A and B are shown apart, each in its own frame.
Chain A
Amino acid sequence: MNPTLVTTLWRQRLTSPVRVAILAALTGMPLLGVAFMPAAGLGLLGGAQGLILTLGAGMIGQDLSSGVLQLLFARPVRRPEYVVSRWLGVGLAATAVSLLQLGIACALLAGRGAVPTAQEIVMFGGGRLLESFGGAAVLALFSSLIGGFGDLGIYLLVNLGAGIVQMAGQVKQWLWLSRAGAEINAALTPTIDLMRLVTATPMPWFPIVSYASTVVLCLALAIVVINRKEFSYASG
């Protein structure tokens, strides 16, 4: 990991007013629900998908299309180091925003006398952390394939395609097709059901292996793609 690349990514993300506004809306809207809906709990905060997409869109593609990478890679920076730093930057940022949101939600709930249990807080925070780093890895792969914000397009297309496949499976009552659609969708934001992980006996290893392999595979592919690229306008 290269701390300079990570912190620069954060600064780059935060200099975009549009991105900051979307981030504020995604963080603040669920908190309004927690604040004003009497029955609301942490579940109302939902997943981290929106945060990951907001913070991660164009994480590599923006640099690819802007042309700054030829200067960057003329420096003593390895290409895998760049990819991993971008992934970590997005994962850490999404986790930080999630934890901030969680903290505010807990404070709001505490104000109403409905403090979540420590287990609920840990499970929610841990889930968001896994989701952030998992989703960031998938987005890193998409972003290495296409310039600009094309990764967002790929993500939405795959999401839409998976939904259609899932729906077709349900309509036709083909369980395998429905399952395939669900798996594709789940692969877009890999995570682990922590509650099930800690309560089930014996502990299920499949979700852990599945999560880890998806993240590693996405990062490895992104590194391969970036390693194969030539960074000079002469090659364009």
Chain B
Amino acid sequence: MSGIQVEGLSKTYRRGLTGERVRALVDVSLTIAPGEAFGIIGPNGAGKTTFLGCLLGLLRPDAGRITIDGHAPDDLAIRAVTGYLPERLVLDRWMTGHDFLAYHHALARLSAARRRDEVADALDRVGLGGEAGQRAIRRYSRGMLQRLGLAQAMLGRPRYLFLDEPASGVDPAGVVLFRRLLSELARKDVTVILNSHQLDQVERVCDRVAFVKAGRVEAIETVAAGATHARVLRVRAADQAIGARVTREQLAALAVSAGAELAGLDPPEARFTVADDAGAARLLQTLIGAGVPVAEATPEESRLERLFLDAPGDARTKGSA
């Protein structure tokens, strides 16, 4: 069976001298299809990194079963096609960036004959080509480390890519680069498992997203690119126009003519439901065309943001397991 299957996964840690039990994962079951970009979001301490650790075979679950392409996650055949970028990235600081990638290229049992070219290519892809690649890792900035980490994860074109907060500490240009690389990978049938607090990144890259809270998968949302999702656009007009000069009925009619819907009115603002970005543009065009002095139009938080914001803060379950 291809893809990732997780059935009844539970994991408990013992903490401190008293051996207090902390339940990090509770009966998690899900399936990730081959080539799917799957996001994991949730508050701090929800069990996301533990989940990734179990998928990678670095942590031993107390109960449950994980198979990747029908194999155990620590099977060498699976590891040979796996790339991993941990959140707390620790690299061999005494190496140069180039040496580090060459080292992981060898560990991944990739062709020695192609090593030089593939390492140079990997460095170029993350913007560390030339002198930067020859610099000792201990002289790298946080963002450069993260770029190098992503380069090592992508070595050898893995079929499964596990990324834990990949854009953490990366500058805006790096974030855009990361997003582009991840989107490319997702298009190339690489199964991407992305754990990130950057919800916009998750929403842009992933096909589905699991919301994890207190060690449980609370919801799995489909956010695939191309899928149509209603969005709410908040529009504010100048001169108190909305509610005074432009009535609710007029706004509703204008919305319908633009293929949108009036979701609410709270002068001087109105909320509209639109199908997508194009629908939002159409609505604004219609409103302006009808003489509504639009001063500001902002999208309300995405579904993922709402999902996130509705959850309580630290949610790790404590108690007997």
Interface positions of A (Cβ within 8 A of B): 2, 4-5, 8, 11-12, 15-16, 66-68, 70-78, 230-235
Tell me, rounded to whole Å, the shortest Cβ–Cβ distance linking A149 to chain B: 16
B306 contacts the other chain (Cβ, under 8 Å)? Answer: no
- The contact string, 1 if C-beta is below 8 Å from chain A, for chain B 78-109, is 01101010111011101100000001101111
Q: A70-B84, A70-B86, A75-B104 are in contact. List 19 more A-B contacts (CB 8 A).
A: A4-B107, A11-B94, A11-B95, A66-B92, A71-B86, A71-B90, A73-B57, A74-B162, A75-B79, A75-B108, A76-B108, A76-B109, A77-B79, A230-B58, A231-B59, A232-B50, A233-B86, A234-B13, A234-B53
State the interface size on chain B (CB cutoff 8 A).
33
| Docked CA distance A70–B104 (Å) | 13
Q: Is the CB of A71 within 8 A of B84?
A: yes
| Docked CA distance A73–B52 (Å) | 14
Q: Is the CB of B107 within 8 A of A15?
A: no
**Contacting residues, chain B, for A12 (C-beta < 8 A):** 92, 94
| Docked CA distance A34–B49 (Å) | 58
B119 contacts the other chain (Cβ, under 8 Å)? Answer: no
Tell me, rounded to whole Å, the shortest Cβ–Cβ distance linking B95 to chain A: 8
| Docked CA distance A8–B104 (Å) | 11
Q: Is the CB of A230 within 8 A of B79?
A: no
Tell me, rounded to whole Å, the shortest Cβ–Cβ distance linking B57 to chain A: 8
**Contacting residues, chain A, for B103 (C-beta < 8 A):** 4, 8
| Docked CA distance A180–B299 (Å) | 78
Q: Is the CB of A232 within 8 A of B79?
A: no
Pick the 4 closest A-B CB pairs, nearest first.
Answer: A232-B53, A67-B90, A74-B84, A75-B107
Which residue on chain A has the smallest CB distance to residue B85?
A71
26 pairs from A and B in contact (CB 8 Å cutoff): A2-B107, A8-B92, A8-B103, A12-B92, A16-B94, A66-B92, A67-B90, A70-B86, A71-B90, A71-B152, A74-B58, A75-B104, A76-B76, A76-B107, A76-B108, A77-B107, A78-B76, A230-B58, A230-B59, A230-B60, A233-B86, A234-B24, A234-B49, A234-B53, A234-B59, A235-B50
Q: Is the CB of A232 within 8 A of B59?
A: yes
Which residue on chain A has the smallest CB distance to residue B54?
A232
Q: Is the CB of B58 within 8 A of A70?
A: yes
**Contacting residues, chain B, for A70 (C-beta < 8 A):** 58, 84, 86, 90
| Docked CA distance A179–B296 (Å) | 88
Q: Is the CB of B59 within 8 A of A235?
A: yes
| Docked CA distance A97–B58 (Å) | 36
Tell me, rounded to whole Å, the shortest Cβ–Cβ distance linking A223 to chain B: 15
**Contacting residues, chain A, for B88 (C-beta < 8 A):** 67, 233
Which residue on chain A has the smallest CB distance to residue B112?
A4
Tell me, rounded to whole Å, the shortest Cβ–Cβ distance linking B20 to chain A: 14
| Docked CA distance A5–B109 (Å) | 12
| Docked CA distance A78–B91 (Å) | 19
Q: Is the CB of A15 within 8 A of B86?
A: no
Which residue on chain A has the smallest CB distance to residue B91?
A68
B56 contacts the other chain (Cβ, under 8 Å)? Answer: yes
Tell me, rounded to whole Å, the shortest Cβ–Cβ distance linking A230 to chain B: 5
Which residue on chain A has the smallest CB distance to residue B88?
A233
Tell me, rounded to whole Å, the shortest Cβ–Cβ distance linking B102 to chain A: 9
Tell me, rounded to whole Å, the shortest Cβ–Cβ distance linking A161 to chain B: 26
- The contact string, 1 if C-beta is below 8 Å from chain A, for chain B 60-88, is 10000000000000001101101010111
| Docked CA distance A67–B145 (Å) | 15
Which residue on chain B has the smallest CB distance to residue A12?
B94
Q: Is the CB of B49 within 8 A of A72?
A: no
| Docked CA distance A114–B102 (Å) | 48
| Docked CA distance A73–B78 (Å) | 12
- The contact string, 1 if C-beta is below 8 Å from chain A, for chain B 11-40, is 001000000000010000000000000000
Q: Is the CB of B79 within 8 A of A74?
A: yes
Tell me, rounded to whole Å, the shortest Cβ–Cβ distance linking A89 to chain B: 14
**Contacting residues, chain A, for B104 (C-beta < 8 A):** 71, 75
Q: Is the CB of B56 within 8 A of A74?
A: yes
| Docked CA distance A73–B82 (Å) | 11
Q: Which residue of B24, B49, B80, B95 is within 8 Å of A76 (Cβ)?
A: B80
Beta-carbon contacts under 8 Å, B179-196 to A: none
